[in-house]
Structure 1
Amino acid sequence: MEEEVKDIVPCTSLAVDSILRVGTAGAIWGLCAGPHQARKRGLTGIAQASHVAKAVTKFSFQCGLVAGIFTSTHCGLQRYRRRNDGINALIAGAVAGAAVAAGTQNRTQVIWMAGLVSAFSVAADYFKPN
């Protein structure tokens, strides 16, 4: 039954859902990390509020971006290959990790991030309850 539902729901809908959920988690993380970073820098008042707002925006965007790329790639591979296995998570994690690290323009960081996100994706897919 679940496989039938996944075939009906478009990948774009799954990606938007993922972006909203993980982006919200990133915003919450920014709300927690932003004030701590601002206090370490000695910011108060408007400067602190501005720093927190920027942290919320940054973390929310980055988390949503990773989630969107991962979900779109994973869903597309699953539909293309007609299989739901660890290979989809491996490739989707590598693509998402490389996309995030591409902003550094450092080839070594791109490779490490692609491998790290890919490994976590495969582990999460392996331990996911069926």
Structure 2
Amino acid sequence: MPQGRISANLNSPTVGVFVDMGHPLLNRAVDGFFKIGTVGASRVAAEEVYSALNKGRVTKHDLEHTFKKMGKEGLQCGAVAGLYTGLEYGVERVRGRRDWKNALISGAFTGAILSLADNSSRDKMVRNAITGGAIATASEFIRYLT
């Protein structure tokens, strides 16, 4: 069984953490999970700080609620990102190319799979697949704008 490794670097303005799971598919999925999960948790933290500033007070209950919400949101965002990046790697390997079509296919499958997890209707699954494909493709186009 492959052994995992963790390495980190801190160079301004980027922070990189790499977890070696022994296979590129797992590496990308775990990397996406951690990076986007952190973004999701950070978003909740920022919202809750804003809310606390508006209220003018913070209670122990508020802090507990915030940490639970950060964990839940981090896991959800991380799971979606891990699924997407894993699918994108798989599509890239099957197609033998690295282009925007991989993002389109992976985004569509991710949207459809998330709909299956919610027991959504067929119509909602198709809409989520279209939305997932569109968002993923747009992010690919934006990434390569220069």
TM-score of the two chains, using structure 1 as the length reference: 0.78
Q: Which of 84, 88, 92 is 1:70 aligned to?
A: 84
Q: Which of 41, 53, 58 is 2:67 aligned to?
A: 53
Instruction: Determine the C-alpha separation between the residues in 1 that align with 2:61 and 2:53.
Output: 11
Superposition misfits of 4+ residues, deviation over 6 angstroms: 37-40
Change (3 A) 1:109 1:12: same
Q: Write the deviation string for residues 69-125 of structure 1: whole angstroms up to 9, x where unpaired.
A: 100000011011101122211111012222333343222333222211210111111
For structure 2, the 5+ residue unaligned runs are 1-22
Aligned residues: percent identity?
A: 29
Q: Which of 103, 119, 128 is 1:113 aligned to?
A: 128
Change (3 A) 1:50 1:97: same
Aligned length: 121
For structure 1, the 5+ residue unaligned runs are 1-8
Instruction: Determine the C-alpha separation between the residues in 2 that align with 1:48 and 1:114.
Output: 36
Say which structure, 1 or 2, has more relative contact order (CA 8 Å, 6+ apart). Answer: 1
2:140 aligned with 1:125: yes
Select the structure that is richer in helix.
1
Instruction: Give how far 1:32 is off.
Output: 1.7
| Number of the residue aligned with 1:32 | 46
TM-score of the two chains, using structure 2 as the length reference: 0.70
Instruction: Give how far 1:67 is off.
Output: 0.6
